Amino acid sequence: MIRRRPHLLWLLVPYALFVVALPFVNQVPLLLLWLLGATVLTPCAVALAWRKDRRSGR
């Protein structure tokens, strides 16, 4: 499925920002900025995947 629709890998960005990288930025001042940035970037990643998926006619 990924070979036919590689643009769906954009949906891994929110997962990576919230789950994978969170233990590495687990410091109090940076944690708030990290979560704010991840919250802002999540809709952007979803919109990129949606836009490309819509253009590919699927």
Tokens 């990576």 correspond to 16
Q: How confident is the model at residue 2 (pLDDT cuts 50, 70, 90)?
A: low
Distance between CA atoms of 6 and 23, rounded to whole angstroms? 27
CB contact at 8 A, 38 and 17: yes
pTM score: 0.75
Predicted confidence (pLDDT) per residue in 13-55, tens digit: 999 999 988 888 887 788 888 889 999 999 999 999 999 888 7
Residue 13 CB neighbour total at 10 angstroms: 17
| Tokens (6 digits) for 16 | 């990576």
- 3-class secondary structure, 37: helix
Distance between CA atoms of 57 and 12, rounded to whole angstroms? 21
